[in-house]
Amino acid sequence: MARKVTTGARIGWSIAAWVVALLIFFPILYAVITSLKTEQEAIAGFSLIPSGTFENYVTVQTQRDYFKPFMNSVILSVGSTILALIIAIPSAWAMAFAPTKRTKDILMWMLSTKMMPSVAVLLPIFIIFRTFGLLDSRVGLTIMLTLINLPIVIWMLYTYFREIPGEILEAARMDGASLWKEIVYVLTPMAVPGIASTLLLNIILAWNEAFWTIQLTTTNAAPLTAFIASFSSPQGLFWAKLSAASTMAIAPILILGWFSQKQLVRGLTFGAVK
């Protein structure tokens, strides 16, 4: 850029941007700080300096068995993402490389399933789950999370696959590569980055899903969303412990999220903004 910026202007913009950024980040920061306070300190008025106790983290584990919902979150988000990828990869591949007149309609229809309000099908799903004994089960919830994120997974993969040049495939075909070889040696290496991005974004979405996870679980299969929501009851109001549980619940996904900023834009806008 040839544009010249004076140092003064740069410092001014920087201060403004940092103030705004820190204000937006503040609630997260304050939760982390509170998690390192004692319960007395937590309600003793504004303070950014905690006594630095890790007691809350220990208590959350020993009293509320934190590890269980945490593992449920891991199993559900990773499990549903892998299941969705297994269903979506062949589908997106077919639509990207062997499109027909109806491909676009099919894609739009898939997207439209994402627009159905969850609450509208709450009761049927609840009744189906109860009938088949899937309530509060990891299997049931994995299926549910797979279904609600499947359209996004297919769309994201499709926008990535579409960017792989078709000529490369034709060249491989000319050289006599079979379809199987074409997929394994030509397509897969080029598709891996797109698949990885999709995987990452979908784990984030599944981890934070807070309607079905709360509606369909009680204790056994309850992931962190349901676990934290249970803290809203009056007897659960221990802020330092709540903060410790919250910090552990958001830390892994926050870090994943920082690494997937670009893919996030792409994935959530269905390729409309890049």
Partner 1 sequence: MATQNTRTLARLMMAPSVVVLLIWMAVPLAMTLYYSFQNYNLLTPMNVSFAGFFNYQYFYTDPAFFQSIWNTLVLVLGVLAITVIGGTAIALLIDQPIFGQGIVRILVISPFFVMPPVAALIWKNMIMHPGYGVFADIAKFFGAQPVDWFAQYPLFSVIIIVAWQWLPFATLILLTALQSLDSEQKEAAEMDGANFFNRFIYLTIPHLSRAVTVVILIQTIFLLGIYAEILVTTNGGPGYASTNLTFLIYRTARLGYDVGGGAAGGIIAVVLANIVAIFLMRAVGKNLDK
Nearest-approach distance from CB 87 to partner 1, in angstroms: 5
HEC-encoded secondary structure of the chain = CCCCCCHHHHHHHHHHHHHHHHHHHHHHHHHHHHHCCCHHHHCCCCCCCCCCCCHHHHHHHHHHCCHHHHHHHHHHHHHHHHHHHHHHHHHHHHHHHCCCCCHHHHHHHHHHHHCCCHHHHHHHHHHHHHHCCCCCCHHHHHHHHHHHHHHHHHHHHHHHHCCCCHHHHHHHHHCCCCHHHHHHHHHHHHHHHHHHHHHHHHHHHHHHCCCHHHHCCCCCCCCHHHHHHHHHCHHHCCHHHHHHHHHHHHHHHHHHHHHCHHHHHHHHCCCCCC
**Residue from 8, 108, 176, 235 binding partner 1 (CB under 8 A):** 108
Of 82 and 214, the one with the shorter C-beta distance to partner 1 is 214
**Residue from 65, 114, 133, 196 binding partner 1 (CB under 8 A):** 114
Nearest-approach distance from CB 24 to partner 1, in angstroms: 5
Q: Which residues within the stretch 43-102 sit at the binding site for partner 1 (CB under 8 A)?
A: 43, 45-46, 87-88, 90-91, 93-95, 97-98, 100
Nearest-approach distance from CB 93 to partner 1, in angstroms: 6
Per CB under 8 A, the segment of 18-26, 58-66, 133-141, 192-200 that binds partner 1 is 18-26
Of 121 and 192, the one with the shorter C-beta distance to partner 1 is 121
Of 82 and 256, the one with the shorter C-beta distance to partner 1 is 256
Nearest-approach distance from CB 72 to partner 1, in angstroms: 13
Q: Is 35 in the site for partner 1 (CB under 8 A)?
A: no
Distance CA 98, CA 31 (A): 50
CA nearest 210: which of 223, 198, 196? 223
Of 78 and 229, the one with the shorter C-beta distance to partner 1 is 229
The number of residues in the chain equals 274
**Residue from 21, 71, 184, 196 binding partner 1 (CB under 8 A):** 21
**Residue from 173, 177, 181, 190 binding partner 1 (CB under 8 A):** 173
Question: Please, are residues 221 and 136 in contact by the beta-carbon 8 Å criterion?
Answer: yes
Q: Is 192 in the site for partner 1 (CB under 8 A)?
A: no
**Residue from 49, 52, 119, 176 binding partner 1 (CB under 8 A):** 119
Distance CA 214, CA 81 (A): 19
Q: Which residues within the stretch 197-236 sit at the binding site for partner 1 (CB under 8 A)?
A: 204, 207-208, 210-211, 214-215, 224-226, 228-229, 231-232
**Residue from 85, 195, 242, 244 binding partner 1 (CB under 8 A):** 242
